[in-house]
Amino acid sequence: MKTVLITGVGKGIGKALKEKFLDEGYFVIGTFFTGRPDPQEHLKDFSLDLSNPASIASCATAITNFGRNIDILINCAGVLKDEDETSVVADKLRETLEVNLIGTIDFTQRLLPIMQDKGHIVNISSTAGSLMLTGKHASHLEGRYPAYKISKAALNMYTVTLAKQLDGQVTVSSVHPGWVKTDMGGEDADLTPEQSAEGIYNVAVSRPPTGGFWFAGESVPW
């Protein structure tokens, strides 16, 4: 039985991914900040606060000691702290980067020793972090949530950097989940969490060229 590690399984896309992988016969290791999942067969959960270095270290150690190597790691947990902002607010930028970038990188690096050879690391990013799309479609993105955009652009660079580091060993991908009906995306969004999870799953279980940015099976411009 293959093992997937998913951060943020307490709600939203992470919760839908947890259910999708369980349905597909995977053993799921899930982390939660709020909304601890109900006990299920082939599910092991761990508490994780990506803004807290001590929590990251403790969780990574506990997962390592659990004794299962990881076939797929999906960094799904994230925050949107500046939804209504149109300019950078330093405090909100720091809070956003701690979770969406620094904490995610710290957690990932600590789990690299238990990644299976030929495994896959998937960073849930956003087209809001695409320099090309933001430049061409600024009106569509409404100029809002700059801290979130900055965090996702930086996460994309981590994808490229890590892909070079692990070339030939582990595939690394950024994935746009779509505009999803979650607490972050709102009720007017295009996709349900289950629909988004289906698309992410399809990328995660495939082996696309490492260091790529994907949505619905298509390459996304950086």
pLDDT tens by residue, 99-110: 999 999 999 999
In the Cβ-directed half-sphere of 9, how many Cα atoms lie within 13 Å?
A: 26
Distances (CA, A) of 158 to 32, 36, 70: 23, 28, 20
Contact status, residue 105 vs residue 46, Cβ threshold 8 Å: no
Q: Which residue has the higher pLDDT, 181 or 72?
A: 72
**Residue 140 pLDDT > 60, yes or no?**
no
CA separation for the pair 14, 6 (Å, rounded): 7
Q: What is the total count of domains within the chain?
A: 1
- Reported residue count of the chain is 222
Strand order in the sheet with 212-215: 43-47, 27-32, 3-7, 70-75, 115-124, 171-175, 212-215, 218-219
Question: 81: Cβ–Cβ under 8 A, 6 or more apart, which residues?
Answer: 92, 95, 96, 147, 148
pLDDT at position 135, please? 54
3-state secondary structure of 30: strand
| Helix, strand, coil percent values for the chain (each to nearest 5) | 45, 20, 35
Nearest to 21 by CA among 200, 211, 218, 160: 200
CA separation for the pair 110, 154 (Å, rounded): 19
Nearest to 18 by CA among 1, 59, 39, 175: 39
CB atoms within 10 A of CB 27: 18
CATH of the domain at 202: 3.40.50.720
Nearest to 56 by CA among 131, 122, 110, 92: 110
Nearest to 150 by CA among 215, 108, 94, 219: 94
Tens digit of pLDDT for each residue in 65-122? 999 999 999 999 999 998 788 889 999 999 999 999 999 999 999 999 999 999 999 9
Q: Which residue has the higher pLDDT, 35 or 56?
A: 56
Range of the domain at 174: 3-219
Confidence of residue 139 (pLDDT cuts 50, 70, 90): very low
**Residue 141 pLDDT > 50, yes or no?**
no
Question: What is the model's pTM?
Answer: 0.94
